[in-house]
Amino acid sequence: MSALFLLLHLLHARRKPLKVGEDENMAQMKDAIGHFTGAIESPKAFKAEMKLFLRLFSSYTAQRIERRILDWDKIQATTPNQVIKYEDLPASGNVKNLLKLAVLKFNGGLGTSMGLTGAKSALEVKDGLTFLDIIIQQMKDLNEQNAVDVPLLLMTSFHTHDDTIRVVRKHAGERQRITTFNQSRFPRVYKDTLLPCPQSVDDDKEKWYPPGHGDVYNALVHTGLLDQLIAQGKEYLFVSNSDNLGATVDDRILQHMVESKAEFIMEVTDKTRADIQGGTLINYDGHIRLLEITQVPSEHVEDFQSARRFKVFNTNNLWINIKSLKRVMNHAGMGLDLITKEKVASDGHTVIQLETAAGSAMRHFNSAHGVHVPRSRFLPVKTCSDLLLLKSDLFSLQNARLVLSAERMFATTPVIKLGEHYRNVAEFQERFKYIPDMIDLDHLTVTGDVHFGRNVTLRGTVIISAGEGHRIDVPPGCTLENRLLSGDLKLTEL
């Protein structure tokens, strides 16, 4: 009887008339989402969030039919006016600009790529301090040194909210300047059926996702924070990723923003082999825009990744005029390029996540342009190799800023390649109990089960490779210079 009922119900649901221009996938998604709202406390906020999700989903279904790919032949290099050199900016900034500034960090990321289960920003990175500790200290120094009161906004996701609150709570003196707010929570979608994974609003965390940092614009509006900033007389918003400790407030860029009246500035920097996935700035039909790898026709992906043609990439350090942001949001809302990510869920199903990135907002702003900044403004930690660099003696914290050691002969950092045994932070910490000195290191490759003793120095090119099932212990106090070690070694004498 109930099976028959279900069948009838399904048949009925299928036969629902479609609105003009609305495809069947969209209709069934709306229907499924509609069933969620019954049991929740603040259906208004939830409905607003689902409306945003449905908008993204509808551009996804539309693109399945007609994929909007850029016309590759129309892509041109940016002009010097479109990407300005940092060296050409005013030599310093007016302190008064800081009165109109607010700083925002994207803090929604889990460190899953490094095997972390919590917020990446709560990971200890240097001198016993987490990313968040250092960011909060950077803001404290900025405010004290300039006798100003620049607020710090932390955008968290449902994954990172609790960890963030825990770290912020430790900084009693700074807490009144810090605002945390949640970004949206969207349902993951089964790739085969295009139905939502969650069955109800309180279904498993794993069935939901935070839809990327492009969500910031809507979150600022929905939380009322955008209006609050305007009421406080704030005009400029500096946003960046919380795992990039190089993204400190820069008075020259801020001064340039004030003088040039640009509504949006994107900091870009030289592309290395490690950054080939990053978005780049292009001149398209005479307009500057961000080109992401997802928009590149497959036959041109190699061109896109080449550092010869596209020399710079987006650091995600963005400077936004707050009133202009309000204008864009009031006018037509923030249309952003869709990014589709596929994942395999723990139940083995392939799911998709529809996301957006903050940088693609650029095209909605007047006089938007890039500033080509030194690499020191981009020090992200995406892998344990990045973490090793920052933890080493190559960098020190001075006034909460990461500074490359003056003893280093070159302005560049060594190339570090760690194998599979160093993919997650726990394994990394187990093997790098002590961080070697690296001031004179050019290149390091470590694969297999290698353990570092206290006070090891690495110089030049060092390659250490333990064979499968073998272990190498690098003894305390030793110096390895231009050495290749492999096999199964108990190193006692070198």
Ligand X SMILES: *[C@@H]1O[C@H](CO)[C@@H](O)[C@H](O)[C@H]1NC(C)=O
Q: Name the minimum Å distance from CB 156 to ligand X.
A: 7
Closest separation in Å from C-beta 455 to ligand X: 4
Query: Does 419 count as an annotated binding residue?
Result: no
Residues 414-453, one symbol each (x = binds ligand X by CB under 6 A, - = not), give ----------------------------------------
Q: Please state, in angstroms and rounded to a whole number, the distance separating the CA atoms of residues 63 and 295.
A: 12
Residue 382 bears catalytic tag = yes
Query: How far apart, in whole angstroms, are the C-alpha atoms of residue 144 and residue 2?
Result: 69
Please say which residue, 374 or 476, places its beta carbon nearer to ligand X.
Answer: 476
Calculate the alpha carbon distances from 113 to 116, 272, 366, 424, 467 in Å.
Answer: 7, 20, 36, 8, 25
Whose Cβ is closer to ligand X: residue 208's or residue 310's?
A: 208
Q: Which of 72, 455, 484, 487 binds ligand X (CB under 6 A)?
A: 455
Catalytic one of 382, 417, 433, 490: 382
Whole-number minimum distance, CB 475 to ligand X, in Å?
Answer: 11
Q: Residues 6 or more apart from 138 whose CB is under 8 A from it?
A: 248, 249, 399, 400, 401
* Residue 205 marked as a ligand binder: no
| Residue 179 sits in the site that holds ligand X (CB under 6 A) | no
Whole-number minimum distance, CB 302 to ligand X, in Å?
41
The response to whether 443 counts as a known ligand-binding position is no
Q: Is 335 annotated as a binding residue?
A: no
Asked if 369 and 349 touch (Cβ cutoff 8 Å), the reply is: no
> For residue 93, what are its two tokens?
């900034």
490 is known to lie in a ligand binding site? no
User: Length of the chain, please?
Assistant: 494
Q: Which residues contact 455 (CB under 8 A, 6 or more apart)?
A: 434, 437, 476, 477
Q: Which of 403, 135, 341 is nearest to 243 (CA)?
A: 135
Residue numbers 475-494 binding ligand X by CB under 6 A: 477, 479
Structure tokens that stand for 272 in this block = 């290395």
Q: Does residue 205 touch ligand X according to CB under 6 A?
A: no
Is residue 158 involved in binding ligand X (CB under 6 A)?
Answer: yes
Smallest distance from ligand X to CB 199, Å:
18
Q: Checking phi first, is residue 285 left (phi over 0); if not, alpha (psi -120 to 50) or beta?
A: left
Q: Is 16 annotated as a binding residue?
A: no
- Minimum distance of ligand X from residue 165's CB (angstroms): 9
Give the number of other CB atoms < 10 A from CB of residue 86: 17
The only residue of 340, 457, 461, 486 in contact with ligand X, by rule CB under 6 A:
457
Interface pick for ligand X out of 78, 97, 138, 182 (rule CB under 6 A): 182
User: Which of 126, 161, 188, 234: binder of ligand X (CB under 6 A)?
Assistant: 161
Core vs surface per residue 347-376: b (16+ CB within 10 A) or e: eeeebbbbbbbbbbbbebbeebbbbbbeee
Q: Cβ of residue 45: shortest distance to ligand X, in angstroms?
A: 8
Q: How near is the Cβ of 452 to ligand X at its closest, in Å?
A: 13
Size of the site for ligand X (CB under 6 A): 7
Judged by CB, which is closer to ligand X: 97, or 182? 182
Nearest distance, CB of residue 182 and ligand X, angstroms: 4
Question: Which residues of the shown chain bind ligand X in the complex (CB under 6 A)?
Answer: 158, 161, 182, 455, 457, 477, 479
By annotation, the residues acting in catalysis are 382
Binding-site residues: 120, 183, 212-213, 243, 382
Q: Which residue ranges make up the annotated binding site for UTP?
A: 120, 183, 212, 243, 382
Residue numbers in the known binding site for substrate are 213
